[in-house]
Structure 1
Amino acid sequence: MRSRSQVASTVASHAPVNSPCEKCNISAMSLCHALSCDDLQQLSEISSSLEISKGVTIINEQDPANYLFNVTAGSVKLYKLLPDGRRQMTGFLFPGDFLGIAMNDCYAYSAESLEDTKLCRFSRAKLEELLKILPHLENRLLNMVSNELVLAQDQMLLLGRKTAKEKVCSFLLSLSKRAKSETGPVTKISLPMGRSDIGDYLGLTTETVSRTLTNLKKMNIIAIPTNGMLEITNLQELIDLAEGLD
């Protein structure tokens, strides 16, 4: 295996023209955050950009985990299929999120695009080699994995202890927090997933999700101006409902 200095000597000091990283506008949230120009170029050399349409399967559960992905635009849903055919939604990914981390040689879940989506794809074998010589990159990946564990713990609380209304409110707040801007929580959020996807994620029926959203709208806590968008019009009330303080 080549040393870091040997690898670095073979590349220029700036990302090459037409590099997948050249025009990326989510680098501060993605795997490549805080990499130097040299390190970024090495990462770009093992990556490729993908543009996929809505409803396309990106990975299948139990398929060989040959690739990892960074979401750069759009959104993705993660799910597992139970032996009887039922589906359990396990998460939703947005720009900056990482996809395809596997503890063994196979993917542990399936992933499908919720809308037209852009991905940065990495060969798992090449990325693992790069991690050995780029400690900043390895630390960044570990931080992203740790964040996934925190989200999984939040999901356990959501499914196990909260009422239907608290679940839906908590879900909307989580979307707002993930889209948080420099000036504070975002009140206008993208809602690309359907009511059935939300229900599968929260352990609720589609009817219960729709009814709860309708009630929140009647209470002037949210507004749904267009399909795929939602506006939080009373953030504090939504927080109180999510925490069971209504």
Structure 2
Amino acid sequence: MKASVVTIEPNGHSCSDCTVRASAVCSSLDAVELKEFEHLGRRAHFAAGEAVFCEEDIATSFYTVSDGVMRLYKLLPDGRRQIVGFALPGDFLGMNISGRHNFSADAIGAVTVCQFAKAPFGRFMAERPHLLRRINELAIRELSQARDHMVLLGRRAADEKLATFLLGWRERLMLLKGPSNTVPLPMSRRDIADYLGLTIETVSRTFTKLERHGAIEIVHGGISLRDCARVEALAAA
């Protein structure tokens, strides 16, 4: 992981113009509340590989991803890395019970976040139960994704795991960009391996196998789904 050299902008942006507002935590706020909310945040920019926050650090801020993709992971006692998820624009990070981050997050490519100091955000939220309900909705979604990941790690066949990952990632991207059979994969093969509990060699072989069988086509920066029914059958196995 690179040392984090963060570029921070004063809060000159308008939340009402934010392209991810509909899926972000602030979607529950009205126009007046949104104007006040703007003054709570600041934009922070991270280059590829830079840490946004680290596991066990005291959580002093919350984050909404506004652009780019983040890699979320834990380091195991033997030094291996387990990726627990990938954050997309609109995702809200940093909320936890212990007061410390329970995983690390770094940037895959350039990432921009809206960063909110914990104490003023907490005061703002305490006066607005509808914002708290929205945060609870996002927390429930995150819990559901974590349960799906546990099931995914328990699958025995590599092609089942990879097919499930590709369809799940495509579904998440569809919520942001609309339907497409081309699925961008900004993460590396190593990242996918560490997410699925496989070796990088197995992931590479499985991509090749799915392409050879006509299920996908490997394209620059991602894959194209050529036979969705075949991929869906593998994911459902």
Relative to the length of structure 2, the TM-score reads: 0.91
CA RMSD of aligned residues (A): 1.7
What corresponds to 2:7 in structure 1? none
- Deviation sequence 1:94-133 (CA, Å, 0-9, x none): 1111111221121111001011111111111111111111
Contact kept? 1:20, 1:48, Cα under 8 Å? no
Q: 1:32 to 1:107 in 2, by over 3 A?
A: same
What corresponds to 1:151 in structure 2? 145
Higher CA-based Rg: 1
Q: Give the AA of the match of 2:229.
A: Q
Structure having the higher strand fraction is: 2
Q: Which runs of 4+ in 1 moved over 4 A?
A: 181-185
Q: 1:184 to 1:44 in 2, by over 3 A?
A: closer
For residues 23-172 of structure 1, the aligned pairs below 5 Å read 23-172=17-166
Identity of aligned residues (%): 37
Q: Give the AA of the match of 1:236.
A: A
Q: Does 1:188 align with 2:161?
A: no
What corresponds to 2:197 in structure 1? 203
Runs of 5+ consecutive residues of structure 2 not aligned to the other structure: 1-10
Contact kept? 1:98, 1:144, Cα under 8 Å? yes
Runs of 5+ consecutive residues of structure 1 not aligned to the other structure: 1-16
Alignment match of 2:227 (pick from 203, 227, 234): 234
What corresponds to 1:12 in structure 2? none
Structure 2 Cα separation of the partners of residues 142 and 232 of structure 1: 34
Relative to the length of structure 1, the TM-score reads: 0.87
Structure 1 Cα separation of the partners of residues 135 and 210 of structure 2: 38
- Secondary structure, aligned partner of 1:96: coil
Contact kept? 2:155, 2:161, Cα under 8 Å? no
How many correspondences in the alignment? 227
- Secondary structure, aligned partner of 1:28: helix
Superposed displacement of residue 161, structure 1: 3.1
Q: Does 1:174 align with 2:168?
A: yes
Superposed displacement of residue 37, structure 1: 0.6
Structure having the higher helix fraction is: 2
Structure 2 Cα separation of the partners of residues 232 and 22 of structure 1: 35
